[in-house]
Amino acid sequence: MTAFGDYQLEIYGAGLRGVQPGYPMAFAELEARAAQALSPSVLSYVAGGAGGEHTQRANVDAFRQWGLIPRMFVGATQRDLTVELFGMTLPSPLLMAPIGVIGLCCQDDHGDLATAAAAARSGVPMIASTLSADPLEEVAGRFGDTPGFFQLYTPTDRELAASLVSRAAAAGYRGIVVTLDTWITGWRPRDLATSNFPQLRGHCLANYFSDPVFRARLGHDPAADLPAAVGLWARLFGNPLTWDDLPWLRSLTTLPLLVKGICHPDDARRARDGGVDGIYCSTHGGRQADGGLPALDCLPGVVAAADGLPVLFDSGIRSGADIIKALALGATAVAVGRPYAYGLAIGGTDGIVHVLRSLLAEADLMMAVDGYPALADLTPDALRRTCTHT
């Protein structure tokens, strides 16, 4: 069986033929290259965070305070990174987090399709955002044999919400991820400085404009009056969900239902008791609120409160080492965001695949070198604190 770490052998082998990698190997260079490829407005939207971006930086810095303890005489010549999730066996615990403007990160403005194609090639599932440049059915059509998930920004119109979820199920998505922390947009100075809100300009609204309920509410083809269509979207988008809404959300689908944005153990317990199938611990990468705890600090408490339910995690993942640490702290699976968006910006589907393979190669090699042959070996006891936040 080919190991993820063998990606380095491909790179070194190509070097013997005089071929060097076409894409960056380190996050800092990846980000710098993407900054040259993306328009200033899209870059500010993807790279920026809320407020002074303290939480965004803290999400990244939190990983530095943990170190994996090497174990010797293990002989981890083969590593098993497979994970069981909602009845599926996935080749790795890595997923692609939903990004609402991923469509605009590709040079042809069809980044959702390019990301889905990368999922098909890499085996890394995509969590497709409600805010996409192409309809969810077309995105799902590019997944190949790789399962995908649909992320729902719950509209205030319950019939529209039910329509989006029903379409996702019909299109073959394997789970619904409800984002809880984005019924209103956080304070984002980078975007505010340029009055930049892509959706208000009509971008990444294909799922709404193609939806029969939305079109019936609008009364005409969205293309015939784009400002009116955008205005309706703005009125319907943000639903400040409460616990009273959870039974209704649960009733929408028999697919696995995950709730995203859970950071407090009490919320995890209540969601579990309310019938969800998975908890998604996340601070939205620091994009929605500043001054909070890094998501990684919240993860162990959420895992304990989830009491056996799968726990997905994102926010601050920049390397394979970060993936390993999140898994050791109890995450069932780990989602990456900005790194794959930057890979898309500089190389389309090929760029994303390179980023995903690099992350998995580093994680796999870290398990090999440090003596952890299976994900089950990655427990909190494998980690030690190294420093405090800076």
Q: Which residues are known catalytic residues? A: 284
CB 32 within 8 A of CB 342: no
Q: Mind giving me the DSSP string for 140-194? A: HTT-TTS--EEEE---S-HHHHHHHHHHHHHHT---EEEE-S-SS----HHHHHT
Is the alpha carbon torsion for 316, 57, 339, 284 positive or negative? positive
**Strand 176-179 relative to strand 149-152: parallel, antiparallel, unpaired?**
parallel
Q: How many CB atoms sit inside 10 A of residue 53's CB?
A: 18
The residue assigned the tokens 């784009």 is: 226
Spatial separation of the C-alpha atoms in residues 35 and 273, rounded to whole Å: 44
Stretch (H or E) spanning 128: strand 127-128
Q: Which of 336, 354, 327, 356 is nearest to 80 (CA)?
A: 327
Q: What percent of the residues of the chain are helix, what percent strand, and what percent coil, each to the nearest 5?
A: 50, 10, 40
Q: Residue 15: CB partners within 8 Å, gap ≥ 6?
A: none
Cβ burial of 3 (10 Å; 0-12, 13-18, 19+) is: middle
Maximum Cα–Cα distance for the chain, whole Å?
Answer: 69
**Strand 127-128 relative to strand 149-152: parallel, antiparallel, unpaired?**
parallel
Cβ burial of 203 (10 Å; 0-12, 13-18, 19+) is: buried
Q: In DSSP terms, which residues pair with 89 in a beta bridge? A: 84
